[in-house]
Structure 1
Amino acid sequence: MAVSIHVSLTLASASPARLSTLRAAGIEPTVRVSAVDEPAVLAATGITDPEDVSLLLARAKAEDVASAVQREYFDSDEDDDVAAPGLVLGCDSVLDLDGVALGKPADAADAVRRWKDMRGRSGRLCTGHWLVDLRDEEDGGTGGTLGAVSVTTVYFAKVTDAEIEAYVATGEPLAVAGAFTVDGLGGPFVTGIEGDFHGVVGVSLPLVRDLARDLGVAWPSLWTPRS
């Protein structure tokens, strides 16, 4: 596949970890947070399987933001200098522990309960990815929309009650799926992973590369051009 002109990427996520991961890989996405009501989406479908939950929510976020980007582009005037849309990426992560999909903890007490249940055990971190191609046909656009799930086994340390209380008190576990990070304060409490490290952080770079390729976009085309 030949590398053509730069293709822009819109990230349909407010996650700082996802943004920093893409930036480290040479991509400077536009960040647009979706208006998706996640509990309502899940309630409407009845889906509970962790992998399916992550993919469903990733798709909902990507398609919500894609619709907003398209409306703005087509409603804009020539003088508005609105860039032509490229790809839109939606992601969502949940921890599969005993077949239950665990997103962000409801509160500190919930985070403490989870860690007491997780310690010394392993769980499956499922990160759904959904990519929407909004490019014009003349620019190689396919109109395609597709997704996949990154699944990584995470092994948790036998942390003490005091360590759990201290970690939860930092506030970090309350802001992330599964109540842990591997690239932050929670790193010392994760003894190992089997699978894609970046998928645990929040966006699997190899998986996004594969999805982009299926839409006819070579990975280097997503790199932000150097001035």
Structure 2
Amino acid sequence: MTQTALAVILASTSPARSRILTNALVPFTVSPSAVDEEGELSQLIAKSGKPSSAEEAVFLAGLKAEAVARDAAGAIVIGCDSVFEVDGVSYGKPYTVEETVNRWSIMSGKTGTLHTGQVVIDTANGNRRSARVVSTEVTFTEVSPEEARAYAETGEPLQCAGAFTLDGRGSAFVAGIQGDANAVIGISTAALREQFAELGHMLPLAAL
């Protein structure tokens, strides 16, 4: 296993994922992927049936990594996606205030699982890849409809899988988690280290 000198590219514009990598002193650049998530998922369901929440997360993470890897020769590309599961149902981003309020009527007082898919592609070595799903249980407090609407109207949860954040206003509604907190926020650096090792690299760390 060697210290990689390859460029590292995060195929995501998520500020939370960038913040985690920055705090871990991992040098990287951002190159957003242009993947039609809903369209690709619909095609997968038509072809193979509905995937599990964990399978959906790693499938979409792979598509994002692949889309960026096509134009990133000589780099290591990281793709991520998160899917929240509660009562056996998968939930992605709510996008609207009303859908966020509806989600919280379902999630309030319950425990769900946040599945974070991570796919790393080494374009310098034949597009070798490593895939992981990190699943973390999240338990919520009881949240009133008024609280849910006030939270939704801040705009924070509209682009978040599960309609909540662990590192923002949504933390007030989280009673506890069992698993990797970074994965809930967006990317597991512990899993990422293992993925780099699987591909023969050390996770690069910048000097202080």
Report the TM-score, using the length of structure 2 for normalisation.
Answer: 0.93
In structure 2, relative to structure 1, the CA distance for the partners of 1:159 and 1:5 (3 Å cut) is closer
Helix, strand or coil at the partner of 1:223: coil
Distance 1:131 1:194 in 2: 25
**Deviation per residue, 1:126-176 (Å, 9 max, x gap):** 0000000012xxxxx464112010000000111122211111110011021
**Could you tell me which residue of structure 2 aligns to residue 206 of structure 1?**
190
Report the alpha carbon displacement of residue 109 of structure 1 after superposing the two structures with TM: 0.5
**Deviation per residue, 1:74-128 (Å, 9 max, x gap):** xxxxxxxxxxx32100000010112221111041100001011101001000000
Distance 1:110 1:4 in 2: 45
**Could you tell me which residue of structure 1 aligns to residue 10 of structure 2?**
11
Report the TM-score, using the length of structure 1 for normalisation.
Answer: 0.86
Matched length: 204
1:224 to 2:190 alignment: no
**Could you tell me which residue of structure 1 aligns to residue 80 of structure 2?**
91
Report the alpha carbon displacement of residue 68 of structure 1 after superposing the two structures with TM: 2.0
**Could you tell me which residue of structure 2 aligns to residue 124 of structure 1?**
113
Distance 1:175 1:37 in 2: 15
Distance 2:4 2:10 in 1: 19
Report the alpha carbon displacement of residue 225 of structure 1 after superposing the two structures with TM: 4.8
- Tell me how large the CA RMSD over aligned residues is: 1.4
**Could you tell me which residue of structure 2 aligns to residue 189 of structure 1?**
173
1:101 to 2:83 alignment: no
55, 70, 95: which one aligns with 2:58: 55
Task: Give 5+ residue unaligned stretches, structure 1.
Answer: 71-84, 136-140
Paired residues of 1:48 and 1:100 also in contact (CA < 8 A):
no
101, 105, 110: which one aligns with 1:112: 101
Paired residues of 2:37 and 2:60 also in contact (CA < 8 A):
yes
- Within 5 Å, which residues of 2 pair with 1:15-54? 15-46=14-45, 47-54=50-57
Report the alpha carbon displacement of residue 8 of structure 1 after superposing the two structures with TM: 2.2
Instruction: Give the AA of the match of 2:75.
Output: G
Helix, strand or coil at the partner of 2:82: strand
Distance 1:59 1:216 in 2: 19
In structure 2, relative to structure 1, the CA distance for the partners of 1:99 and 1:192 (3 Å cut) is same
Helix, strand or coil at the partner of 2:71: helix
Distance 1:39 1:162 in 2: 30
1:154 to 2:138 alignment: yes
Instruction: Give the AA of the match of 2:20.
Output: T
Instruction: Give the AA of the match of 1:100.
Output: V
Q: Give the percent of matched residue pairs that are identical in Structure 1 and Structure 2.
A: 39
Task: Give 5+ residue unaligned stretches, structure 2.
Answer: none
